[in-house]
Chain A
Amino acid sequence: MSSDVNTNESLPARADAVAPTPETLGRQVLQRRQKRLRKERWTFVGIRLLSLLVVMIGWQIYGSHTIAILFAPLTTVIHQGYILFAHYQLGSELLYSIETFAYGYVFGLLIGIFIGMLTGAYRAAEAAISMYIFALYATPMVAIVPIISLWVGYSFTAQVVIVTLFVVWPVTVTVFHGIQEIDSDLMEVSRSLRLNRRQTWLHVLLPGAVPFIITGATQGVAMGMVGVIIAEVQTELTGIGKALQTEASTYHTAGALAVILLIMALGLTLRALLSVVKRWVVPWQRLDRGSRRA
């Protein structure tokens, strides 16, 4: 058995080593690749930290030379953030917003995955409802917010509905395209292997859709964050939306900036979480990527 493991490194025992090698060879290759990736990762971490430092210093200097109503130095912003947390319940406002987001996001994700898969897999479903999906996807959801308020009111429920509406369309569209793009060759293989409908879903469509679901979920995070802030500002003033509005309308620019930083941090955290989830649920995708970008 020739040891033809895919790799770009030169391997000492490559040639056509027979029987026992593929396993050990495979392990060696993996180890080497992981080592190289680790090294690359740390290089990029370094670059990132450096860039962050430059921006922070720039912010500090610029902030110190403008009037406080327009901008504030980073230290002031952080201090203001601390004050908001310590004395103005920013923590509980944040939790409230996170709860709104979580409900809306999960509903949006589930509904989006469901509709996306249904329309992606069944042409009848596509013919019946894809036009509405694309119409709604193309509509800025902000336009619908007042109507939602009319229907559901200004409560927590209304806010969740709004977030759901922000999340659901990008997820639906991504999953829809993803299912359609699952290799038609693989669909033929499924037929040849005599998989029934349930087995085709279980072994082919669902796992094939996972990377697209993750992509949709990542887009959904950004849209969901937009949804939360809009919902909180446009309906009942609550959560971080309220904090933001209060600070900005009273010219506490440093405070407003602190809240914005907080929202950013929240979004980044969620995206980072998702990329961890992705590595965990899509193990086959990280294997063949030797990170060939310069």
Chain B
Amino acid sequence: MAEQGDLRAAERAGASAGDDPGSGAIHCRDIYKWFGSSLIINNLQLDIAHKEFVCIVGPSGCGKTTLLRMIAGLAEIDSGEITIGKQVVTKPLPTVGVVFQHFGLFPWKTVIKNVMLPLVASGVPKAEARARAEAAIELVGLKGCNDLYPAQLSGGMKQRAGLARALAIQPEVILLDEPFAAVDAQTREVLQEELLNLWGRHKQTAVFVTHSIDEAITLADRVVVMGVNPGRVVKEITIPIPRPRTVASVRRHEQYAPLREEIWDLLRVRDSRADTKGTNANE
């Protein structure tokens, strides 16, 4: 198994990254996950195309964050297989950037050092790492904040730094775990707007976990609705709203209200069932 993984890794290294139309595709096959003796994810199948933006929504305890962590190589896959491009995920892959809900910035490092860290760690020469980090910081609108410590930043700015760090490695895939859940509502919309803008210019495969239906419709090409007890894909809904989008243009779109209603109904059904059963799964 490990040997096979290595083989695939070697193949992958041979192919020129980024040009390969399949390099950012994600396939989740027959995924099962248990927490203790309770089944959290039951036979989940999910395919995400190269450069597709997918939002995963679902009630608490449906395993959406767990699924993302498995794709990120941070949580063990109890059964089944996840591939990104040609690589089987067994540990965090170099082509994947992760944005954490809790920002995940190192408090003892300034913004620039935080963003440079994955580059320096992967052996990029320091000068180049700095240049690339600076570019990523500028991209997310944090120019001038290079030498500030995370403690000096607001939630919104922290998450910009987190995003810059994920983008600095120029990943094929970016995984975002409720990245805007910890910021206030206005900042959240500003960040959504910026993410739309950014993703419009530099497309990569994006998997975005969120609680917010609005956020999912605004950002995604496709919304994956998960159900709880056990977690599984209930429905996949393609969002036909054309790009380029803005938060406002999405809200105005005629499809917005019906989509919102459809997803809301799916979630409400699952949610009420979840409430009566009670969910002990800790996301």
Question: Which residues from chain A sit less than 8 Å from chain B, CB to CB?
Answer: 1-2, 4-6, 19-20, 22-23, 26, 29-30, 185-186, 188-189, 191-196, 199, 203-204, 207-208, 210, 282-285, 287-288
Smallest CB–CB gap between A144 and chain B, Å?
A: 37
A282's nearest neighbour on chain B, judged by CB, is: B108
Contact A284 B100, CB 8 Å, known A194-B94, A194-B118, A194-B121: no
Is B117 an interface residue, CB under 8 A from the partner? Answer: yes
Neighbour of A192 across the interface among B74, B106, B144, B190, CB < 8 A? B74
Chain A residues whose CB sits within 8 angstroms of the CB of B149 once the complex forms: 283-284, 287
Quote the shortest CB–CB distance from B147 to chain A (angstroms): 9
0/1 interface trace, chain B 141-153, chain A, CB 8 Å (1 if under): 1111100111111
Q: List 20 A-B contacts (CB under 8 A).
A: A2-B187, A2-B190, A4-B153, A4-B156, A4-B157, A4-B187, A5-B153, A6-B151, A26-B148, A186-B104, A191-B91, A193-B92, A193-B121, A196-B121, A207-B106, A210-B108, A284-B107, A284-B150, A284-B151, A288-B152
Partner of B100, one of A6, A189, A207: A189
The reply to whether B74 and A191 form a contact with Cβ atoms under 8 Å apart is yes
**CB within 8 A of A2: which of B122, B152, B156?**
B156
User: What does DSSP make chain A's interface, helix, strand, loop or mixed?
Assistant: helix
Q: Which residues of A contact B142 (CB under 8 A)?
A: 1, 22
B31 on the interface (CB 8 Å rule)? no
CA distance A194 to B152 in the complex (A): 26
Which of B73, B94, B141, B150 has a CB less than 8 Å from the CB of A1? B141
- Asked if B12 is an interface residue, CB under 8 A from chain A, the answer is no
* Chain B residue total in the interface (Cβ 8 A): 36
Q: Are B152 and A203 in contact (CB under 8 A)?
A: no
Q: Across the two chains, which residue of chain B brings its CB closest to A288?
A: B151
- Cβ-closest chain A residue relative to B184: A4
Name the distance in Å between B121's Cβ and chain A's nearest Cβ. Answer: 5
Once A23-B144, A26-B152 are accepted as A-B contacts, the answer to whether A185 and B100 lie under 8 Å apart by CB is yes
- Asked if A203 and B109 sit within 8 Å, CB to CB, the answer is yes
Judge whether A22 and B145 touch: CB under 8 Å: yes
Q: How far is the CA of A276 from the CA of B22 in the complex (A)?
A: 55
Q: In the bound complex, how far is the Cα of B121 from the Cα of A25, in angstroms? A: 32
Identity of the chain B residue whose Cβ is nearest the Cβ of A196 in the assembled complex: B121
Known: A4-B187, A20-B144, A194-B92. A287 touches B106 (CB 8 A): no
Q: How far is the CB of A116 from chain B (nearest CB, A)?
A: 18
CB distance from B203 to the nearest CB of A (A): 22
CB-based contact B118/A193 at 8 Å: yes
Contacts of B151 in A (CB 8 A): 6, 284-285, 287-288
B72 within 8 A of A: yes
Do A189 and B104 have beta carbons less than 8 Å apart?
A: yes
Chain A residues with CB under 8 Å of B94's CB are 194
Nearest first, the 4 closest Cβ-Cβ pairs linking A and B are A23-B144, A288-B151, A4-B154, A1-B141
Produce 1/0 per residue, B121-151, CB < 8 A to A. Answer: 1100000000000000000011111001111
Question: Please, which residue of chain A has its CB at the minimum distance from the CB of B102?
Answer: A185
Q: Out of A2, A20, A204, name the residue touching B106 (CB < 8 Å).
A: A204
- Chain B residues with CB under 8 Å of A192's CB are 72-74, 92, 98, 100, 104
Residue of B nearest to A20 (CB): B144
Looking at the assembled complex, report how far the CB atom of B178 sits from the nearest CB atom of chain A, in whole angstroms. 13
* A-chain residues with CB within 8 Å of residue B92 when the two chains form the complex: 191-194
Query: CB-nearest residue of chain A relative to B104?
Result: A189
Distance (whole angstroms) from the CB of A227 to the closest CB of chain B: 32
A203 to B165, CA, bound (A): 15
Which residues of B sit under 8 angstroms from A285, Cβ to Cβ? 107, 151
Complex: A1 Cα to B191 Cα, angstroms = 9
The answer for the CA separation of A74 and B107 in the assembled complex, in Å, is: 48
